[in-house]
Structure 1
């Protein structure tokens, strides 16, 4: 699939990357458009389009690898925090359609950290609307 997918090409070694870690099922490499110093991506080696497509075992492997790398980012780069981010679908900012987790180190020092929140945490929503959506989702979850 590497001729159709940038990340499959990276995993196959056909597209250059700054590899950070690799195991039997995952590959981690530096993001070429970093939101902060040390921003990297963790992908499954097996292609899946997005969060809705990835198998449970691959999702678990990518998440465990991302946690292991987040620990290294915190210790080695002195990050003050870490965001794990997945974008599922073009309207959710996904630009490469191969599942991936962004591991984004966060720093108090804003010369190292260019990421800003796209919403304002701490602004409460409508409790009735929240409850109604929660009920709908509860009934829809497998």
Structure 2
């Protein structure tokens, strides 16, 4: 098992039980959204509290909490956005390996009720940050969300 140390998660708080949806908040949208990847139904966010380096999220533009609430055109565009997001992350991180997934419902581990997919590039060096990282199985998130957004925008 890999343990993740992320200095950017210090301000993180779970908002699943909050009345305010962070992904519907215009200030958060402006901060996290990569406009050049945005579609008609989906936004692509830089995760402000990444699990691993390169962690992006596909977020529905309208507030949806369950996959059963998605319209056919949203499902269709989701496929396109997943592939587009993988392509740009592949270019930036020089990888063809990804974790792509989502959590639905209060017991799933999701911290935000707004439906979103995680797209995370996987690279060998994430497992091994030197000998001590190899022994302890620790990965440190090294790229800040702001730096990741800049790298993605330059690559586009």
Give TM-score scaled by structure 1 length: 0.67
Structure 1 residue 63: deviation in Å? Answer: 2.9
Structure 1 position 91 matched with structure 2 position 107: yes
- SS at structure 2 position matched to 1:101: strand
> How large is the RMSD of aligned CA atoms in angstroms?
2.3
Unmatched tracts of structure 1, length 5 or more: 115-142
Q: Pick from 50, 65, 87: which aligns with 2:81?
A: 65
Q: Between Structure 1 and Structure 2, how many residues are aligned?
A: 109
Structure 1 position 30 matched with structure 2 position 46: yes
Task: Give the match for residue 119 of structure 1.
Answer: none
Structure 1 residue 18: deviation in Å? Answer: 3.0
Distance 1:95 1:59 in 2: 22
Distance 1:78 1:19 in 2: 22
Judging by fraction of residues, say which structure has more helix: 2
Task: Give the match for residue 31 of structure 2.
Answer: 17
Structure 1 residue 25: deviation in Å? Answer: 1.6
**Greater relative contact order (Cα < 8 A, sep 6+):** 2
Kept after mapping to 2: 8 A contact 1:54/1:99: no
Structure 1 residue 94: deviation in Å? Answer: 1.3
Kept after mapping to 1: 8 A contact 2:39/2:77: no
Task: Give the match for residue 6 of structure 2.
Answer: none
Distance 1:7 1:42 in 2: 11
What are the superposed Cα offsets for residues 96-125 of structure 1, whole Å, 9 maximum, x if unpaired? 1111110011111124x94xxxxxxxxxxx
Runs of 4+ in structure 1 deviating by more than 3 angstroms, as ranges, are none
Kept after mapping to 2: 8 A contact 1:40/1:103: yes
Larger Rg: 1
Give TM-score scaled by structure 2 length: 0.61
